[in-house]
Amino acid sequence: MRKIEKRAVVCLFLVAAMLLGLGIYVIQYLRFGGKWASFAANRHLYNSQGQLAVGRILDRDGDLLSWPDENGNRCYYDNATVRKATLHAVGDAQGKIGTGALVAFADQLSGYNLITGAYSLTGTGNDLYLTLDARLNYIAYEALGGKKGAVGVYNYETGEILCMVSSPTYDPLDPPVIEDGDERYDGVYLNRFLSGTFVPGSIFKTITLTAAIENLPDLFSRTFTCTGSTQVGDGVITCPHAHGEMDIYGAFANSCNGVFGQLAVELGGETLSSYVEKAGLTSRYNVSGLKSAAGSFDVTGATENDLGWAGVGQGNDLVNPCAMMVWMGAVANGGKAAVPRIILKTESSSGLPASLQLTHRTDTLIDSTTASTLAQMMANNVAETYGASRFPNMDICAKSGTGEVGGGKAPNAWFAGFLRNEDAPYAFIVLVEEGGSGADVAGTVAAKVLDALVNGY
Ligand SMILES: [Zn+2]
């Protein structure tokens, strides 16, 4: 009798272990089944060169960006500039572009589902529509004029990314052989918009200003004087020239380093850090499953002068272009913005929806009253400094930036902002590496892309 009891216990234990194992397997299967099935060694889905042989990638208007021919070889859009401008969104046959749909969304392209796995009667996989407009990518890439950088435009109400360009890039039909240290292709496989971080320069003043509006009650009655060089702590903070006497509106429109350096010190490192965090600049966003890079703001052990420079977007400050664009969207949208997404929809070969694409919202990145004050001041920047005539039919709010990178290189040019037009709820970010003046160079790239988007020329 005792022997039987013992055996029963052993049996029960084995059954429990099996059920546990099965449970773990089922959970993993539900979570990662699509990734397993779309593993590159699966010959049902990949051709002999390891290229994904099923699934078509289209832009939001239905322009075909990449598709397999009857032999399973990858084809791409017939215009080389469009191929280059959409490389980091579409991907390459070799799988080197991690953010490209061919790699990142292989499971959705394969037509994988829980019932039939990756098997389909037609064997053609799914149609994956990106939120991008290939035409805008083309215009943005041309506007960068061969410079390295990133351009992003998105709808801050729906999250749809309309333009996402990263440069340098190459033609996926003619991938270059890249020698070590070839500067032309520096970081070419990196999607700078999603995965890069850069010194922000003066676009960071939107953060310092937000903290100042909320913490310095007399901010709007103050008068500042800039002589071109301001003593902050044990060093000076310099401006390109003397800005003279101005209020906070003027200091922001002139992008006066002296004023913002002093404000940063008055606010203190801890306060400033909390605003950077709240604005989402140190967060990572989930863009249809792609994680954006987190920026950083570290003023531990900083001197007063270091803190001053940190408050004008220099020093150790690093921002990710995508996170900066979302921050602009939140200012536009009363404090919360839609989280960006790059997949518009997926359809099976029979035309049925193959996935659910939802709009998610960010946390509150800025108080709504502060947001409308900041927007007003950014609109004033355009009127006073950048020139409203460059942005026809646009209720545009913006801040330029010129991020010094040192090493004898020209500064990074930035232009960040958003439109308040009800029928054009777009936020944007432009980075031109070693571009020089933010308002001129990056502002011109932004103007070309926004003009095409709003005025449809
Ligand atoms: Zn100044």
Query: Average pLDDT, stretch 385-407?
Result: 93
Instruction: Compute the distance from residue 222 Cα to the ligand 1 centre, in Å.
Output: 15
* pLDDT for the residue 349: 81
- The pLDDT of residue 41 is above 80: no
Q: Over 70: is that where the pLDDT of 121 sits?
A: no
Q: 422 lies in a domain?
A: yes
What local confidence, expressed as pLDDT, does residue 190 receive? 96
Percent of the chain with pLDDT over 70: 92
Total structural domains within the chain: 1
Distance 456 CA to ligand 1 centre (A): 38
CA of 249 to the centre of ligand 1 (A): 13
Rg (CA), the chain: 25
Of 111, 176, 110, 169, the closest CA to residue 141 belongs to 169
Cα(170) to ligand 1 centroid in Å equals: 41
In a domain, 404, yes or no: yes
CA distance 288 to 339: 9
Please give the distance, rounded to the nearest whole angstrom, from the Cα atom of residue 260 to the centre of ligand 1: 9
Question: Is the entire prediction scored with pTM above 0.95?
Answer: no
Q: How confident is the model at residue 406 (pLDDT cuts 50, 70, 90)?
A: confident
Give residue 34's pLDDT: 60
CA of 411 relative to ligand 1 center, distance in Å? 18
The arithmetic mean of pLDDT across residues 340-362, rounded, is 91
**What is the CA 79 to chain-centroid distance, rounded?**
25
First to last CA, the chain: 89
Helix or strand (DSSP H, E) at 232: strand 229-232
Query: Residue 198's pLDDT is what?
Result: 96
Q: Is residue 115's pLDDT more than 60?
A: no
Q: How far is the CA of 424 from the centre of ligand 1 (A)?
A: 34
pLDDT of res. 317: 94
**Residue 202 counted as domain residue:** yes
Q: Residue 392 belongs to what domain range? A: 194-344+358-455
* Residue 319 alpha carbon to ligand 1 centre in Å: 23
pLDDT of residue 385 exceeding 70: yes
Give the Å distance between the CA of 389 and the centre of ligand 1.
25
**What's the CA-to-centroid distance between 69 and ligand 1, angstroms?**
59
Instruction: Tell me the CA–centroid distance for residue 223 and ligand 1, in Å.
Output: 13
CA 225–ligand 1 middle distance (angstroms):
8
Per the prediction, the chain carries an average pLDDT of: 91
Ligand 1 center–CA 253 separation, angstroms: 10
- Please check whether residue 429 lies inside any domain of the structure: yes
**Residue 228 CA to ligand 1 centre (angstroms):** 5
Strands (E), 53-160: 56-58, 64-68, 74-76, 127-130, 149-155
Report whether 433 contacts 184 (CB < 8 A): no
* Residue 209 is assigned to a structural domain of this protein: yes
In the reported structure, the alpha carbon of residue 44 is separated from the centroid of ligand 1 by a whole-number distance in angstroms of 63
* Separation of alpha carbons 367 and 3, rounded Å: 71
Query: Given a cut of 60, is residue 119 above it in pLDDT?
Result: no
- pLDDT tens per residue across span 181-202: 888 899 999 999 999 999 999 9
**pLDDT band, very low/low/confident/very high, at 21 (cuts 50, 70, 90):** confident
Asked, for residue 229, whether it belongs to a domain, the answer is yes
The stretches of 216-279 forming alpha helices (DSSP H) are 248-253, 257-267, 269-278
Kindly report which listed range (49-63, 370-384, 385-399) carries the lowest average pLDDT score. Answer: 49-63
Query: What is the pLDDT, as a whole number, of residue 403?
Result: 84
Q: What per-residue confidence (pLDDT) applies to 354?
A: 85
Mean pLDDT value across residues 165-176: 95
User: Any idea what the CATH number is for the domain that residue 306 is in?
Assistant: 3.40.710.10
**Residue 155, domain member (yes or no):** no
Q: According to the model, what pLDDT value does residue 18 have? A: 86
Q: In whole angstroms, what is the distance from residue 85 CA to residue 163 CA? A: 10
Please give the distance, rounded to the nearest whole angstrom, from the Cα atom of residue 224 to the centre of ligand 1: 9
Predicted pLDDT at 114: 54
Distance 252 CA to ligand 1 centre (A): 10
Residue 336 belongs to some domain of the structure: yes
Query: What is the pLDDT, as a whole number, of residue 28?
Result: 72
Query: What pLDDT does residue 125 have?
Result: 86
DSSP-assigned beta bridge partners for residue 64? 58
